[in-house]
Amino acid sequence: MRGYRNLVRWVADRPARPAVALLGAIALASGSSAAEKKRPNIVILLADDWGFSDIGSFGSEIRTPNIDALAKAGVRFSDFHVAGSCSPTRAMLQTGISNHRAGLGNMPETIPPEHVGKPGYDTVLNDRVVTMASLFRDASYRTYLTGKWHLGKTADKLPTARGYDHAFSLADAGADNFEQRPIEGLYDTADWTEDGRPATLPRNYYSSRFVVDKMIAYIEAGRSSGKPFFASVNFLANHIPVQAPDAYIARYRSAYDKGWTATRAARRDRAAALGIVPAGAPMVTMGTTRDWNGLSPGQRAAYARAMAAYGGMAEAADDQIGRLIAHLKATGDYDNTVFVFTSDNGAEPIDPMGTLLGRLNSWAHYDMDPAEQGRRGSFTAIGPGWASAASSPLRGYKFSAGEGGLRTPLIMAWPANPAFRAGTIAGRMAYVTDIAPTLLALAGVPGHGTTYRGKPVEPMTGSSLVPMLTGAAGSVHPVTEPIGYELSGNAALFRGDYKLVRNLPPTGHGEWHLYDIVSDPGETRDLGAAMPALFRTMQADYAAFAARDQVLPMPAGYTAAQQINDNAMHTVLVPKLTRGLAVLVVLVALLAGARRWWRRKRVPA
């Protein structure tokens, strides 16, 4: 263990005093000699499309007792930001580097043809970045991933080529939660692989249960090595299609009868009471949100059922997190495990039934009876009204650069480590690129610079959150540090308590706005006119970021929702129609031949 002792000394000798405090606390907890030998396990619990207030400890009515227990044992971050959609966030989480530099300037599902192949628009995790899984494996950790990957499909882009010893992963944005079935109309197949080879799901498959089952199996299979583990559990919950076992849906049968406006207000009040947002935090009403009271009784019942499925899906995922935690307690791993829970972006507003093509596709492939929503064989989405409630009290949701798209819950816990301020809230800016350097620091694993294994790579840009976890500092980002972000034309620049933001339609009009997102997280008071100097400075900061990361302007009229349809049409529907037409031509030819044969047979010799 001499190498690890040297790592501990190296971390302790760095200028960052919180690292010293943390290592000292570990020594107090378990004795200096044991502390040097007992490196922590790491468990990342990544939810999909959960809004800012979708867990109980952030204000939700959804029952999430196991995630809330982690919050009680650890630190909640109330000003944590990710990207507005899944794979850009996942790229930054894995590498500690901005999405453009990591190759995810856009996703394959939402990229316009004009951007394909341009620098930073690889639509996969490129080879210029290093994953933290690679660094943990280099430091003799066991590395495992289960669930959604969405960072590349080819053998050289799958998890086992990017630092993971074993992985059972989905390369697509989402898939069915009860069957080995794709999102019909978006993909031809559900692209599941295990260790780089096509894989088959079990017959009793349910996504949240399965990703935990598989992770427990990986952890136990490698236990005899004596090495600590780095485990990334990536839930499909609550990505479209929203699906849950019947018992979970039933628990929310009447929970949403009052509608999304009432739910949004109730969540805001609970979040304020918990200290997650300021008391009386003002909110906007999203322009895409319909008046609940203006809907027919049948429409209200159908929408309430969709959100009941959403709540049930989230609670089912929480139960599986509890099962993983119970297993780690039974094996003695729990106390010395660092847990990270977050979501990859805000709640999903797109309603596939909102377009004629979407309705035709849904009716053709799924049971669309409103009473069947959320069940096996159904195709359910919550739409913009409930997405707004799930992101309460924030403006916007998935895809947008509003806080509802970019701000998600973050919980970090190390149960037996007294240096973590258990049950506290960190209320200043944190960014998804901060996760990798934080976990590496907690494990005493060195990062990398501009080279890795002799090849030039992008250096990590995130900052370790250890000072915020230990209470040594309220923030790790200086008030003058600009943090830029862009995806699909929606853009933001964070600087201290302030945020510069621009959204394209349908959630904006392409103009810049300035907000104090600490006192006004709902982005209700535009300060651009009141603070012109800061407004100009932050626009200049964004321009510098966009030039450095080679951000491209979006084509006129672009929206992510429309591009998803266009790309699906090109990659899935047109090939299907072409194949169908080819089959039809063959059938017609066979029928014509059979008809000629029958006529000849009937003609007398």
- pLDDT, average across residues 397-410: 98
What's the pLDDT at 568? 80
pLDDT confidence band for 429 (50 / 70 / 90): very high
Report the DSSP beta bridge partners of residue 166.
144
Phi-psi region of 520 (alpha: psi -120 to 50; beta: other; left: phi over 0): beta
- Shared domain check, 533 and 591: no
- Tell me if 294 is assigned to some domain: no
Residue 33 pLDDT greater than 60, yes or no: no
Residue 31, SS3? Answer: coil
- Shared domain check, 536 and 491: yes
Orientation angle between helical segments 297-330 and 65-73, nearest 10 degrees: 50
Catalytic residue among 81, 100, 150, 239: 150
- Tell me if 590 is assigned to some domain: yes
Residue 26's contacts (CB-CB under 8 Å, 6 or more residues apart) are 35, 417, 419
Residue 298 pLDDT greater than 80, yes or no: yes
Q: Which helix (H) or strand (E) holds 77?
A: strand 75-77
- Tell me if 567 is assigned to some domain: yes
What's the pLDDT at 604? 58
- pLDDT, average across residues 435-453: 97
Residue 295 pLDDT greater than 50, yes or no: yes
Which amino acid, residue 559? T
What's the pLDDT at 579? 58
- Tell me if 135 is assigned to some domain: no
What's the pLDDT at 37? 56
Q: Which of 424, 346, 427 is nearest to 80 (CA)?
A: 427
pLDDT tens, residue by residue, 248-264 = 999 999 999 999 999 99
DSSP state of 163: T
Query: Looking at per-residue confidence, does 569 or 198 come out higher?
Result: 198
Token pair recorded at residue 368: 């669309």
How many residues would you count in the chain?
605
Q: Residue holding tokens 């201290």?
A: 496
Residue 443 pLDDT greater than 90, yes or no: yes
What's the pLDDT at 288? 83
Please report how many Cα atoms fall inside a 13 Å half-sphere around the Cα of residue 33, on the Cβ side. Answer: 0
Q: Which of 350, 352, 354, 346 is nearest to 390 (CA)?
A: 346
pLDDT tens, residue by residue, 557-589 = 998 888 988 888 766 555 555 555 555 555 665
- Shared domain check, 534 and 592: no
Instruction: Tell me the CATH number at 528.
Output: 3.30.1120.10
What's the pLDDT at 289? 86
Q: Residue holding tokens 């000849």?
A: 600
- Tell me if 597 is assigned to some domain: yes
- Tell me if 207 is assigned to some domain: no
Catalytic residue among 81, 86, 239, 448: 86
pLDDT tens, residue by residue, 445-498 = 999 999 999 999 999 999 999 999 999 999 999 999 999 999 999 999 999 999
- Tell me if 504 is assigned to some domain: yes
Token pair recorded at residue 184: 């019909």
CA distance 223 to 219: 6
Task: Please state, as a whole number, how many other Cβ atoms lie within 10 Å of the Cβ of residue 419.
Answer: 21
Which region among 210-214, 550-554, 591-595 has the lowest average model confidence (pLDDT)? 591-595
What's the pLDDT at 14? 38
Using only C-alpha atoms, the chain has a radius of gyration, in whole angstroms, of 25
Strand pairing category for 337-343 and 41-47: parallel
Token pair recorded at residue 41: 């396990």
Residue 70 pLDDT greater than 70, yes or no: yes
What's the pLDDT at 569? 76
Q: Which of 263, 246, 312 is nearest to 64 (CA)?
A: 312
The angle at the Cα of 231, spanning 227 to 234, to the nearest 5 degrees, equals: 170
Which residue range is the domain that position 535 belongs to? 482-548
What's the pLDDT at 582? 58
On average, the pLDDT of the chain sits at 91
CA distance 400 to 514: 15
Q: Which whole-number Å values give the CA distances from 28 to 16, 21, 36, 282, 399, in the listed order? A: 19, 10, 12, 44, 45
- Shared domain check, 564 and 523: no
Strand pairing category for 142-148 and 229-234: parallel
What's the pLDDT at 15? 35
- Shared domain check, 508 and 544: yes
pLDDT tens, residue by residue, 514-524 = 999 999 999 99
Report the DSSP beta bridge partners of residue 546.
none
- Tell me if 532 is assigned to some domain: yes
pLDDT-above-70 percentage for the chain:
88
Task: Count the domains in the chain.
Answer: 3
What's the pLDDT at 302? 96
- Shared domain check, 575 and 526: no
Orientation angle between helical segments 17-30 and 2-13, nearest 10 degrees: 140
Tell me, yes or no, if 150 is annotated catalytic: yes
Residue 9 pLDDT greater than 60, yes or no: no
- Shared domain check, 567 and 525: no
CA distance 131 to 146: 16
Give DSSP secondary structure letters for 422-473. TTEEE-S-EEGGGHHHHHHHHHT-----SEETTEE-PPP-----HHHHHTS-
Tell me, yes or no, if 365 is annotated catalytic: no
CA distance 75 to 72: 7
pLDDT tens, residue by residue, 304-351 = 999 999 999 999 999 999 999 999 999 999 999 999 999 999 999 999
Report the DSSP beta bridge partners of residue 451.
456
Q: Residue holding tokens 């341009």?
A: 118
Which region among 28-37, 72-81, 412-421 has the lowest average model confidence (pLDDT)? 28-37
Burial class of residue 417 in the structure, from the number of CB atoms within 10 Å of its CB (0-12 exposed, 13-18 middle, 19+ buried):
buried
Residue 242's contacts (CB-CB under 8 Å, 6 or more residues apart) are 306, 309, 310, 313, 373, 374, 380, 381, 382
Of the residues 525, 548, 571, the one at which a domain ends: 548
Give DSSP secondary structure letters for 299-328. HHHHHHHHHHHHHHHHHHHHHHHHHHHHHH
- Shared domain check, 565 and 605: yes
